[in-house]
Structures are given as C-alpha cells and as structure tokens.
Structure 1
Amino acid sequence: MATTFWVGEIFDPNAEDGSQVESAYDDRWLDHYGGCDGVVTAGNCDTEPRTAANGFFPTRMTPRENPFYLDLPYDDVGDEVANRQRASVVPWASDERYSARVSDPGFSLLKNRWVRMLLADKICYGQIQDAGPGQYDDAKYVFGADDARPANDRFNGAGMDVSPALNGCLGFAELDGENDRIDWQFIDDSAVPPGPWKIIVTTSGVTHES
C-alpha cells in the first residue's frame, strides 16, 4: 500500500514524525522546496488534485525541487540501525559514486535516488526525499529479494508515501487515502525516461542543522 504526503503537511503536531515541514534528510525541507506543496487554507497546508494538464505540478506555488518525490522506510542517516547496516544492505553502496562516502555520517545513499512506480497501466518516476512511513530501518522490505511486506502496521500497513504529483500521475483513488496498492523498484538515474518528473531534478544533499 502507498499513502500520500506533501511538503508542509502537519498531520499530527504531537507526533515526532507527524510533520513534513522537515524530512529525514532535510531540516529545512519546506524552505528548500519553496513552500507548501499544495494549498494554504486557514494557515494549514492542504493537498490538491494534480492533473496532466500542467505536468502534475502544484497550481499555487513554483517548486524549487522535484515535485515527484516519495519516501521509503529506511533512514540511512538518522536511524542508528539503518546507518550501521547500510554498507551491507544497500545494493549500490559499493558503486564507485557511493563507496567513498558510505562512512560519511552526513551523506545519504538513498536521498535523490530514483524509483519506478506502477499502478494498473500507469508508470511514473520519483526521487526519494524522506523516510517512512512508520518505520526507519526496514531493510528486509526496502532491499529484500523475497517480496517481503512492510514491517509498518500504521496507515493500513503502507510501505511508501508518495507526493501529490505522483498521486495524480499514478491515478490514486483518493487525494489522501491509504488503499492504493502499487508496485515499485529502484532505477538508476540514467534509465529514467523523459517526463514531467525530470523537469526539476533534486540534487541537494543532507541538511541537518543540529
């Protein structure tokens, strides 16, 4: 299952992971993205429908980073277990572009990585910009080869959150539901085809201010 989240969303102000003002990799996600990825109503950042007419981009703001973003339940920087394991579980950790920085606590092997998603006959692409939902060291689900189910038991057992742009691109049944089942896989950036997901490509690194 996949749910929808968006930059600027605050769905539980009392929960440690209840806000998308910041992400697992960026303490200033809202600022760096350019503001609420939706519509501000009475001071709240709400989502909105996205359509192909404008490439599934937000209608009330201009993003500075890729609006096709997602999370997976593996925080390889902030979670102690995930960080300790990442050299052995992340498939591309030994690749030349990553191997020299595996021991760098300020570098993520997952942030900005591309993912291919499939729902029915629709295929869309996005970049990882956060970790979750509900779990942060679920290596078996994220990297396992045996089709393991997510360890998360919240949000209908979702194993991924997707942005409003991906919600619209994939044709989710609801703007903010939790019943859409998708297939996904990691994909190298060189294999990502042209599309609205490549209008803006996020390249920023980890920003932790404390």
Structure 2
Amino acid sequence: MRIINKKIIYFVVLLFILVGLGGVWERTKEEPTREKQEEDILYKSVMTTVFWVGENSDESNGFIPNHKSYWDSLWLEHYGGIDDPNDRCGYNPCAFIPKENPFYFALPYGDRNEDGTQKDSVKLIPWYKNISNKESQIKNVWIEIKYKNKICYAQWEDVGPFEDDDFDYVFGKSEPKNIFGVSAGLDISPATWDCLGMTDNAVTKWRFVEEKDVPEGPWKLIITKSSVSF
C-alpha cells in the first residue's frame, strides 16, 4: 500500500512539473522577449513612399518639385542629375554616377525657420550640439529601415512628405500629421526602395542610427558630407 501511495505521489508531482513547464514554454513561445520588445519600441512603423532628386511636380506629390531640397537650393546639380527611378543600373541611375549618396530619405521635420535661423525645437533633438547656426543638426543623419526581411540604411537629405515641423512624430511617439494621399510618414529614394524590395507604397519600420553603427553595404559606397547650401 505504501509503495502504491508513493507511486501516486511521484506521479502527481511529475504531472505538476510537466504542466508548469508546459505553461512556461507556451508563454515563451507566445510572448516576445524583453529585448525584442525594447527593440520594437525604437522603431516607428509608417506608410512609406518613393521620391527622387529631380522629380517634377504633379498631383501625386502635391505639385512639389524636388529639384532643390530643404537644405540645398542646387540639390539636382550637386547630386549630378535626375535620380530616375525607371532607368536604373544597380542602385544608381544609368545616366550617371551620383556625386552624393543615392540612399537618401525625407522625414517631415526641418530644423530651420523661414529666415534661416534654427528652430527652438532643435535643442530637443537627442543629439543636439551647440554648432554654427549655418549648419544643420539633422542633415546627413542615418536611419535603419526594415521591410519584410530586408534591412537597408539611408541618409537624411530632404524634408517631407508634405510637412516640415512634425517634431512629435519624428522624435516622439505621435503618428505623422500628414493626411495627404496615403498619409506617408517617410519618403525614400529609388535606391533605398529597390534595396528593400518594395514594389508599391507600404508600411516600413525605421529608427535613427549613428554612423559608426551603420554596417558596410551599397549605402556606404558614396557618403554625403555636404552641409547647408542656399
């Protein structure tokens, strides 16, 4: 009788252990790790569209031409020509080799007032530095972009889409203010678009990264170093 009782006790204990392990396994399988949760917080998920240096104005872009950028009145000239999205040789336009990085993007925040002075909000930028008012705090900054199983990197070279003072989205936790078209919160260049394997407007994830953390890749073959040029 004692032997039977012991066997029953062992069986019950073993059953509880197995049930407990099963619960832990299910939670581990279903719940993302803390590291994954913290990583996801760093990314912003937004509708993403394509734009390019030299793009003409039409209904699709709110009749805003891209011959010059927010920081460069001669962007088209300094880049080397029209970054034609329909005539590509690798990540470059077939007509020429760009003078600046073909991996570029636009976010809807600019760091200057209409008179050229820095906005007060600039001092709230995480990497703010006390530099000359003639320099930009954000031009040439890098971001990492994820789409499906692809990760690519690009530099900040223009402001948009359709907004230029959406600080709370770009540096905070708000949704983009833009409600025009597909309500995009990020514009990317043809090279970045192709690198991600995109074929239509879609939601991507992005986050800021320091240049030292940008891995080697086609996005580092030509790095834009130019400053503000009006």
TM-score, with length taken from structure 2: 0.74
1:170 equivalent to 2:192? Answer no
For residue 92 of structure 1, what is the aligned residue in structure 2?
127
> Stretches of 4+ moved more than 6 A in 1?
none
2:134 to 90, 106, 123: 106
- Structure 2's unaligned 5+ residue stretches are 1-46
Per-residue displacement from partner, 1:31-60 (whole Å, max 9, x unpaired)? 00001111xxxxxxxx21657xx3x22222
Give 1:127's aligned amino acid.
Q
For residue 29 of structure 2, what is the aligned residue in structure 1?
none
Instruction: Please give the alpha-carbon distance, in whole angstroms, between the structure 2 residues aligned to 1:12 and 1:77.
Output: 26
Deviates further, 72-81 or 148-157: 72-81
- For the 8 Å contact 1:82–1:136, the answer to whether it is kept is no
* 3-state SS of paired residue (1:18): coil
Per-residue displacement from partner, 1:130-167 (whole Å, max 9, x unpaired)? 001111111111001x3x21001113110011000011
Instruction: Please give the alpha-carbon distance, in whole angstroms, between the structure 2 residues aligned to 1:204 and 1:59.
Output: 23
Instruction: Please give the alpha-carbon distance, in whole angstroms, between the structure 2 residues aligned to 1:61 and 1:27.
Output: 21
1:142 equivalent to 2:170? Answer yes
- Structure 1's unaligned 5+ residue stretches are 39-46, 94-98
Higher share of residues assigned helix? 2
- For the 8 Å contact 1:74–1:139, the answer to whether it is kept is yes
1:116 to 128, 135, 144: 144
Give 1:133's aligned amino acid.
P
For residue 16 of structure 2, what is the aligned residue in structure 1?
none
Instruction: Please give the alpha-carbon distance, in whole angstroms, between the structure 1 residues aligned to 2:127 and 2:175.
Output: 22
Deviation at 1:105, TM superposition (A): 3.1
* 3-state SS of paired residue (1:183): strand
Give 2:120's aligned amino acid.
R
For residue 75 of structure 2, what is the aligned residue in structure 1?
29
Instruction: Please give the alpha-carbon distance, in whole angstroms, between the structure 2 residues aligned to 1:133 and 1:17.
Output: 12
Instruction: Please give the alpha-carbon distance, in whole angstroms, between the structure 2 residues aligned to 1:155 and 1:26.
Output: 26
Instruction: Please give the alpha-carbon distance, in whole angstroms, between the structure 2 residues aligned to 1:49 and 1:182.
Output: 24
Considering only CA atoms, is the larger Rg found in Structure 1 or Structure 2? 2
Deviation at 1:127, TM superposition (A): 0.1
Instruction: Please list, as runs of the form range in 1=range in 2, the aligned pairs for 1:48-197 lying within 5 A after superposition.
Output: 48=86, 50=88, 54=90, 56-78=91-113, 83-88=119-124, 90-93=125-128, 99-101=129-131, 104-144=132-172, 146=173, 148-174=174-200, 179-197=201-219
Instruction: Please give the alpha-carbon distance, in whole angstroms, between the structure 2 residues aligned to 1:134 and 1:67.
Output: 21
Aligned-residue identity in percent = 40
Deviation at 1:11, TM superposition (A): 2.2
* 3-state SS of paired residue (2:182): helix
Q: RMSD across aligned C-alpha pairs, in angstroms?
A: 2.1
| Structure with higher RCO (Cα < 8 A, 6+ apart) | 1
- For the 8 Å contact 1:3–1:155, the answer to whether it is kept is no
Give 1:165's aligned amino acid.
A
* 3-state SS of paired residue (1:118): strand
* 3-state SS of paired residue (1:67): coil
Give 1:150's aligned amino acid.
P
Give 2:72's aligned amino acid.
D
